[in-house]
Chains A and B, each alone.
Chain A
């Protein structure tokens, strides 16, 4: 809602020096969101006056038409002589009243004006267009004024070029502030000044000879006022003041009748519709549409109607979407000038509709037909049903005043009975909500200020005003009191919070995962979870891969990515590629986040009551309709893990780093990760590890498949890991029992074993560990090699075994026996043979 300050002052006698910013600050503290305060004509400086065109000489020989004019500007130029002006526009004639800017003036821009030589003549000033005056962008030609104006009149004042406009974003609960009347009411309350209510008009009572109207759906339309004006002069134009107010409010002037309906809507908040009476056939009927009916709206679009749409009809059928947009067949005809006769034709008899429609019905119709209009915006948020008669009267008055029309005596006013809304509120409720003491007198006064009638003592019986449909319960009223008293005046206090449990084990674990990975050199990213088939194709997933089963969006931002991720890898690899593209080549990235896995059985979430807590059964149904959303962590690496430098050669990142990242994550929960050779897209079939905890597969890691690397334009040998944190932590963080540390000497024994090259090192180590028994303190693989020395199809694994007893120094024999037992177990389980044996 755009509110010109000059207009606002008509209803509230604001202090003279008060600027737009001052008023905005007061309104903001009362809860109106003033987004901007626009300064109109801020850098404008006169003289800017009304001029009368005395003569026009068309100059030829130039690329465009140029006019050499003399203009009477009265005494404004100090001499009273006609002003010589060269002008490039042609939409004016001798005798027209125009706006002339004289040398020394400054137009908005700023654009200083001086006399100059041009096209062989002196041009001492300019004849102005609306755009040059900052009156709106849509008028390129010269602004031609009403003919009765006196030359020399100050045009800045006349055209109200200097003003301030408050742009207010009105929240849905304050529909009444979509009008000058409503904003003025708030301003009056904020300044403690009286309000001159523009809806307080003398209105003749309803009678039987108004335009015939029938309301078949009183629930959808509980008020319908119709007034008729005849003898409207189609040549009558909107006066400057009216046009200017509309322009400043952001509405383009069109024609007098339409301008008046818009003006009254801005003034009192009641959307009006004007019909050409000659085009309406018979009784106006308000009813619901029949399925399949159509209506061509004012914008020329033929719309298929739904049975829920509320319609305005006449004998011919639908003529308007109630509260949303009128139809083309009965609209006011734009005045047309016949150039031969000079006569203007157009609508001369006008029926004004001022009705009140059900907000939900209007909202649904506007949404269904994608037709948000100034009218529907107001009806949705609640229009004052009691303002309908005054609004219609105001429009009639303006048509009579400006267009020389005659108001017909007939007044149609159909009103469904409206129940009185009375709310009982404890006089201390505002105190209890705010945590301060206002007292009953303040509460009563504030409620009266916003238009409520209030009776009672400890319990107040409050009847809200007709323009506040949002006030429905005691808390709504408490809010009004607290708001008007000012949030700044509410004290600040701390609640008495009982001791908390701190972070949960899972929350602490999630933090440790991030800290551990960042500590290991990984940089965290947050990718969008939107994904498409192309990402799965890039990963080389089979057609029936379960990861292709996704949660899909109805309205994705991008049609190529209509689903939610089932793996973190596409987003992570995308970030990797973006970094590489920007010249960051050695990369280790990680992301933690949820993936979205559709349930096996898809259901719809029920819409539950809000009048009570849902039952456990209902909640279970609600949750059953949601996908599983486990938390995952993933890493991606490319380039060098350790750079080369003066210390020596660097180390390229690879599959082992990806697997180690998984171990890092598992260690954050004190869990031991086991690793198994596996094959799974998008990983390299020979370089993919399945990651397990307690026998559960929790994720995969390794080098990416070369085809994936190529398809996704990734650096060669890009590696990745993805692990499910919820699965990993299914049994919680492992509780460590403190190891007994022996102070006896260690006995170290090395063994080199030859095994088949297909035997996993992890199995050999497990066998050694088991065979070595309780004396084994630790085991470490320190060398792996294949080749001639190991033998065809074999590999050599060299382990260092450390033995130690808790209670004595081990003898060489004991250590050797343990080592032999370890080797025997490895031989038995993996076919390992001692090297050199």
Chain B
């Protein structure tokens, strides 16, 4: 480096001559352009913008110039260095883009590879079906009630107007619980229906009462394609002032519409249950044949056995005797109740052919149903 010199002529400093500066600049441009990859560019960068590069060295000479010459020289060098840096950045961007394009291609994978690493689970369709029905009623303002599966005979039968000698009581094939002395006189059974929950609900508090109650019930049937000794019902109960059969019809219609769709006909048949009066069985038009298999041997329907209808369940206006036993004033209140078989709804709504599939717990049956139904 030269020492400051007041009479020094900048033109006399070789490194600051415009043609030398221009040459250094152009050499830098050429070197950048010639750099084939980022490593080469890095070397060119050191050579042409580093501390030992010609322009950096030239820059240092400015300090030794007389004040009047500094501005012009500074401008000259500054412009050259600016142009070099711009060219470097441009080339850097170009080369990075080239590299990225190359590397990302190399990193490509087969996104169709299967990935069953996390185990898949599912809820049982009977559970989710019960919840779906619960939700339909909860949205109407109902509550979800429950009761014990091992139940007092009084609640399962007597309070429901099925006295001990009632013929309907022998229709239901009941599992009896052993008394402490080993006899059958325990007064306790496996509930044959969810209806005792009606009684418990009414015993619990006074109307208005609107409740649904899904649960397991038991009958002494052997397991086969259409029977199971342990199955599920959903019980519904409404007790309020002025409840009528018409309210029952409206409610069941809404349920069917939400559950299956409103495009199928319902058939209301008078029937008999000791705990309701009038009593009805509700049939749903067969969704497979829509009744066209009836009396038509060329088009038999397995789903409805060519009867055109599928039983949904039983229902009716609560027998006032039941209200009395449960402590509800039948002169002030009336009610309706219904009981639906969940297995049957599932079989029909989802084309399940064999009851055993719902019982045996084979994961291949349950998995496709996932988390919701």
Name A residues whose Cβ lies closer than 8 Å to a Cβ of B.
Answer: 21, 28-31, 33, 171-174, 359-360, 363-364, 367, 380-381, 432-436, 473, 475-476, 478-479, 482-483, 487-488, 490-504, 507, 511, 514-515, 517-529, 551-557, 564, 575, 578-579, 582, 584, 586-589, 593-594, 596, 602-614, 619, 622-623, 625-627, 629, 641-643, 645-647
Contact = CB atoms under 8 A, between A and B. Distances in A.
B150 A642 contact: no
Given A475-B319, A492-B249, A494-B251, A613 B361 contact: no
Contacts of A432: 244, 334
B187 A584 contact: no
B249 A603 contact: no
Contacts, number: 296
A500 B121 contact: no
Interface in B142-164: 142-144, 148-155, 158-159, 161, 163-164
Closest 8 CB pairs of A and B: A613-B327, A31-B270, A435-B244, A521-B119, A605-B187, A435-B246, A525-B361, A575-B361
Given A172-B168, A435-B247, A492-B246, A625 B188 contact: yes
Contacts of B358: 526
A171 B167 CA distance: 9
B245 A31 contact: no
Nearest to B222: A557
A433 B278 contact: yes
B120 to A, nearest CB: 6
A28 B371 CA distance: 40
A518 B370 CA distance: 8
A584 B365 CA distance: 12
Contacts of B216: 593
Contacts of B243: 495
B141 A647 contact: no
Given A495-B243, A523-B366, A626-B151, 12 more contacts: A31-B269, A363-B170, A493-B250, A553-B176, A589-B363, A605-B153, A605-B154, A610-B321, A612-B325, A613-B325, A622-B155, A623-B152
Interface stretch (B80-88, B126-134, B347-355): B126-134
Interface stretch (B5-13, B25-33, B45-53, B109-117): B109-117
A432 B187 CA distance: 37
Contact of A588 (B121, B251, B364): B121
B166 interface: yes
B124 A627 contact: no
Interface in B215-239: 216, 220, 222, 229-230, 238
A31 B271 contact: yes
A519 B121 CA distance: 6
Interface in B177-229: 177-180, 183-188, 190, 203, 208, 210, 216, 220, 222, 229
A381 B243 CA distance: 30
B121 A495 contact: no
Contacts of B268: 487-488, 490
Nearest to A29: B269
B154 A607 contact: yes
Contacts of B143: 500-502
A653 to B, nearest CB: 9
A495 B220 contact: no
B127 to A, nearest CB: 6
A435 to B, nearest CB: 3
Nearest to B164: A607
B33 to A, nearest CB: 45
B240 A518 contact: no
B3 interface: no
A493 B117 CA distance: 52
Nearest to B240: A495
A526 B118 contact: no
B138 interface: yes
A646 B109 CA distance: 13
Contacts of B115: 645, 647
Contacts of A435: 244-247
A641 B119 contact: yes
B107 interface: no
B304 to A, nearest CB: 13
Q: Give the secondary structure class of B's interface.
A: mixed
Given A518-B123, A586-B119, A608 B177 contact: no
B237 to A, nearest CB: 12
13 contacts: A29-B269, A172-B167, A363-B170, A435-B244, A435-B246, A495-B210, A498-B210, A503-B144, A522-B121, A524-B127, A556-B175, A588-B119, A643-B117
A588 B361 CA distance: 12
B362 A578 contact: yes
Contacts of A499: 141
B62 to A, nearest CB: 45
B208 A498 contact: yes
Nearest to A613: B327
A590 B105 CA distance: 45
A398 to B, nearest CB: 30
Contacts of A607: 153-154, 158, 164, 187
Contacts of A551: 150, 177-178
Contacts of A611: 324-325
Nearest to A434: B245
Contact of A433 (B126, B131, B244): B244
B359 A610 contact: no
Nearest to B272: A171
Contacts of B278: 433-434, 478-479, 482-483, 487
Contacts of A604: 179-180, 185-188
B140 interface: yes
A381 B122 contact: no
B262 to A, nearest CB: 12
A173 B117 CA distance: 60
Contacts of A30: 270
Contact of B249 (A21, A490, A522): A490
Contacts of B95: none
Given A31-B270, A517-B121, A363 B178 contact: no
Nearest to B278: A479
Contact of A495 (B187, B238, B366): B238
B312 interface: no
Contacts of B121: 517-524, 588
Pick the most buried of A434, A479, A564, A641: most chain B CB atoms within 10 A of its CB. A479
A628 to B, nearest CB: 9
B271 to A, nearest CB: 6
Between A31, A435, A521, the greatest number of chain B beta carbons within 10 A of the residue's beta carbon is seen for A435
Contacts of A552: 177-178
Contacts of A473: 320
Contact of A494 (B122, B188, B247, B327): B247
Nearest to B238: A495
Contacts of A517: 121
Contacts of A521: 118-121
A183 B294 CA distance: 23
Given A434-B245, A503-B138, A604-B180, A578 B154 contact: no
A482 B245 contact: yes
Contacts of B4: none
A514 B165 CA distance: 42
B37 interface: no
Nearest to B316: A479
A612 B244 contact: no
B253 interface: yes
Nearest to A504: B144
A502 B210 CA distance: 11
A635 to B, nearest CB: 10
Contacts of A557: 220, 222, 229
A380 B166 CA distance: 9
A647 B117 contact: yes
A492 B250 CA distance: 4
Given A527-B361, A605-B187, A613-B327, A518 B122 contact: yes
B38 interface: no
Interface string B55-72: 000000000000000000
